[in-house]
Amino acid sequence: MRYNSGYGLSPNAVKPPWSTITAYDLNAGTIKWQIPAGDDLALAAQGIHNTGARNLRNGIVTTATGLVFMVGGDAKVRTYDEDNGKVVWEHDIAGNSLGCPSMYEVNGRQYLVITVADQASPDAEDVDRTRPLMPRHAKLPSGYVTFALPAGLK
């Protein structure tokens, strides 16, 4: 099988996962858990998962209650349990995000907001490689998507 590293095709040179989320135990100096960050869309369409997204440039945000939020470069936003890295929630978004998610609070309710742009995945055929992750016909920006956390959860 051949994998595209994002910098050109290399036969088996760079294998997935291409991106991971890693939690460290800073007291012990060890890795607590590590999981692929999203999926490569082309490989996911072939039934190959847990690859991590290529060219991932997103950040994460955490809450005091132990939730970790990240947009994985595969048009999905996920929430992970900070104790074990298990996905506790995921939602498709209509596009992709290159930014860091943000949290804000209004009247005691916490919200997650992410940017979403009408853009291709990094492995799409029509991507203009001189403008990272943007197809030649891109209509940017598309806007923001906001999710409300359950009441009382922070």
For the chain, the average pLDDT equals 78
Rounded CA-CA distance 49/16 in Å is 10
What tokens does 108 get? 């005691």
Q: What CA–CA distance (Å, rounded) separates 78 from 103?
A: 14
% residues pLDDT > 70 (the chain): 74
Mean pLDDT calculated for residue range 90-113: 86
* pLDDT higher at 23 or 97: 23
Predicted local distance difference test score (pLDDT) of residue 102: 92
CA distance 61 to 100: 8
pLDDT of residue 12: 55
Closest CA to 60 of 52, 69, 51: 69
Amino acid at 62: T
Domains of the chain listed by start with CATH number: 3-148 (2.40.10.480)
Q: Residues of the chain with pLDDT > 90: what percent?
A: 32
What pLDDT, in 10s, does the model give residues 118-137? 655 444 554 444 444 444 44
Question: Distance between CA 124 and CA 70 in Å, rounded?
Answer: 22
Closest-CA residue to 14 (of 64, 52, 61, 60): 52
Kindly report, residue by residue over 42-82, the tens digit of the pLDDT: 888 888 888 888 777 778 999 988 999 998 778 889 999 99
Per-residue model confidence (pLDDT) at position 7: 53
The model's confidence at residue 25, banded by pLDDT at 50, 70 and 90, is very high
**pLDDT at position 98 over 50:** yes
Annotate the chain with three-state secondary structure. CCEECCCCEECCCCCCCCCEEEEEECCCCEEEEEEECCCCHHHHHCCCCCCCCCCCCCCEEECCCCEEEEECCCCEEEEEECCCCCEEEEEECCCECCCCCEEEEECCEEEEEEEEEECCCCCCCCECCCCCCCECCCEEEEEEEEEECCCCCC
Poorest-pLDDT segment among 31-35, 57-61, 86-90, 146-150: 57-61
